[in-house]
């Protein structure tokens, strides 16, 4: 099967069935990924027990899921990514490490980079609901999301140094951009885990909630974003993400481009009229 240029080998098994609660339909994308779409919000759940490691198969299934959701983007305004069980994702599949050569490692990182960039550049905002261990490749995946909400029981870290490695999926680049170089170096050099509250203090996650409130909090954030104009959200995401890799002057030019473009959209006119008329705007993504 080919999905947007991604060779997935064996055909992905797809099943649909009504979920017991809510109006959504749960879709299975392969063995380890399920997703639902309900009220313009997609929820992707990673289920690769017991610790949801990022295997090659899971990576390909997650890519395929994002491709499916991209084809349905007119029905989606926000995405939630979470894990099932006691981990969001407890890193890569370390059992495969002993057989890695330098050539195999480079090929593996190339495939991983494709997933991380796909998440980071996905047109709709992605909220990561971190339900437990979020380590190594899992933290690198979480950092590609737009917003991170953590369970109070979550543990986060980049422990690659403990097996003679450094983060290879963007950890040495995205972590300093989020928390600063000094703290990033401490976490990467020591390989230690930190709790959710500490992660919030340093800016690695946006907020912390009790485990039973995690999905509810993520849904509340997703619904808030879903009520905003889609074109404006997309422009803001691109301006922020691309601007981080530009000089200030270049970033200001990019921001001005998007601001000017939005002034010609129907949603901008509707938003201005609704403000003047003191009513709730009805955005259509046009």
pLDDT digits (tens, 9 = 90+) for 211-235: 999 999 999 999 999 999 999 999 9
Which CATH fold would you assign to the domain 2-226?
2-enoyl-CoA Hydratase; Chain A, domain 1 (3.90.226)
CATH code 3.90.226.10 region(s) in the chain? 2-226
What are the CA-CA distances from residue 260 to residues 68, 198, 273 (Å)? 31, 39, 18
Q: 113: helix, coil or strand?
A: helix
Q: What string of DSSP letters covers 232-250?
A: HHHHHHHHHHHHTTS-HHH
pTM for the full predicted model: 0.87
pLDDT for 158 = 97
Catalytic residues: 140, 160
CATH code 1.10.12.10 region(s) in the chain? 230-276
CATH top class, domain 230-276: mainly alpha
At how many degrees (to 10) do helices 248-262 and 230-243 cross? 170
Residue with tokens 């929820």: 43
Instruction: Please classify residue 191 by burial: count the beta carbons closer than 10 Å to its beta carbon, then call 0-12 exposed, 13-18 middle and 19+ buried.
Output: middle
Instruction: Report the chain's terminal Cα–Cα distance, integer Å.
Output: 34
Mean pLDDT computed over every residue of the chain: 88
Higher pLDDT, 24 or 223: 223
Counted residue by residue, the chain has a size of 286
Report whether pLDDT(17) > 50. no
pLDDT tens readout for residues 139-165: 999 999 999 999 999 999 999 999 999
pLDDT for 29 = 65
Q: Give the full edge-to-edge strand order of the sheet including 193-195.
A: 87-90, 133-135, 155-157, 193-195
């Amino acid at each position: 099967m080919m999905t947007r240029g991604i060779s997935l080998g064996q055909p992905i098994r797809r099943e649909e069935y009504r979920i017991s609660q809510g109006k959504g339909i749960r879709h299975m994308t392969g063995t380890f990924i399920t997703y639902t779409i309900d009220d313009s919000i997609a929820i992707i759940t990673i289920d690769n027990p017991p610790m949801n490691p990022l295997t090659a198969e899971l990576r390909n299934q997650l890519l395929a899921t994002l491709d499916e959701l991209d084809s349905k983007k007119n029905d989606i305004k926000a995405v939630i990514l979470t894990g099932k069980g006691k981990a969001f994702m407890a890193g890569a599949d370390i059992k495969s490490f002993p057989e890695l050569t330098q050539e195999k490692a480079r090929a593996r990182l190339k495939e991983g980079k494709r997933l991380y960039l796909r998440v980071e550049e996905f047109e709709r905002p992605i909220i990561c609901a971190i339900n437990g261990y979020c380590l190594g490749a899992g933290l690198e995946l979480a950092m590609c999301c737009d917003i991170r909400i953590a369970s109070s029981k979550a543990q986060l870290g980049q422990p690659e140094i403990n097996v003679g490695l450094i983060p290879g999926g963007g950890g040495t680049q995205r972590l300093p951009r989020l928390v600063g170089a000094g703290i990033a170096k401490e976490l990467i050099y020591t390989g230690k885990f930190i709790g959710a509250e500490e992660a919030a203090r340093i800016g690695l996650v946006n907020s912390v909630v009790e485990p039973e409130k995690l999905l509810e909090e993520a849904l509340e954030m997703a619904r808030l974003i879903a009520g905003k104009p889609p074109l404006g959200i997309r422009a803001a995401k691109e301006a922020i993400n691309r601007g981080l890799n530009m000089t200030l002057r270049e970033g200001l030019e990019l921001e001005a481009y998007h601001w000017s473009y939005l002034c010609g959209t129907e949603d901008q006119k509707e938003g201005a009229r609704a403000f003047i008329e003191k009513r709730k705007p009805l955005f259509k993504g046009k």
